[in-house]
Structure 1
């Protein structure tokens, strides 16, 4: 992790200056990227509500993410992760050429602990949520 500000060049997104407090450490990595442990969350007003979770060790690895409530207003996490002053859940978006083919993974949310700067990916039990839920922003969000 950088001790002072460092510059990270992110393909397709540009240059970002970051410091240690910008980084979320994932002790177990993410599914499919277990070797990458440190990530930053990058976004801009023209991309809202989408953000990118970018691997600091390999900035070519970036996952498009958004808050699950943009898709499903009543999305629920396990009780241990419901304190919104501590945890920020994100769901991974699978992009596609056709908008009707874009999906979100509600089954395996990424949870950021904004106090400890730690992150982890959960796999929720049961079949309540899908790993390939069609992306249609909820009417509640669209009206904001």
Structure 2
């Protein structure tokens, strides 16, 4: 739904939401483990964090962070030419990483192994799994000295 119209939907966390249709991300095959939900919107939260809220399933939402937050060390081959996302070399791309929030905030981690890529031209996204072993599934968000 890449248009200027607004859509309303219910969520368990935020109540009723109204967002522009052009802000809805269609995630091809869904987020890993949640293939039944393919339409999401990003909600600002507490920078650098956002919520990736399912439009179809009120209870499904993920805390996420912009992959750009991890700097030049977080580089990987971009799948230009991906047919699902219709990703061309001139398209702007957003990289979104899922955060695993723990009861003890110092134990919170981010998944660098499986980023969600979003083609900002058409709002089509796809979660990919990187082969590079330097990108962990559970990277601590805070260094030991920041936890104190």
- Place the TM-score, normalised by the shorter chain, in its bin: 0.7 to 0.9
Q: TM-score, normalised by structure 2?
A: 0.79
Moved more, 16-25 or 104-113: 16-25
Give the 5 Å matches for 1:3-22.
Answer: 4-22=5-23
Local SS of the residue matching 1:108? coil
Q: Is the 8 A contact 1:50 1:65 kept in 2?
A: yes
| 1:142 corresponds to | none
CA contact (8 A) 2:95 2:116 kept: yes
Residue in structure 2 matched with residue 95 of structure 1 by the alignment: 101
Are 1:71 and 1:136, in contact at CA under 8 Å, matched by a contact in 2? no
SS of 1:112 mapped into structure 2:
strand
Shift of 1:92: 0.4
Contact 2:30 2:37 in 1 (8 A): yes
How many residues are treated as equivalent by the alignment? 135
Q: SS at 1:100's partner residue?
A: helix
Structure 2: state its 5+ residue gaps: 81-88, 144-148
Scaled by the length of structure 1, the TM-score of the pair is 0.81
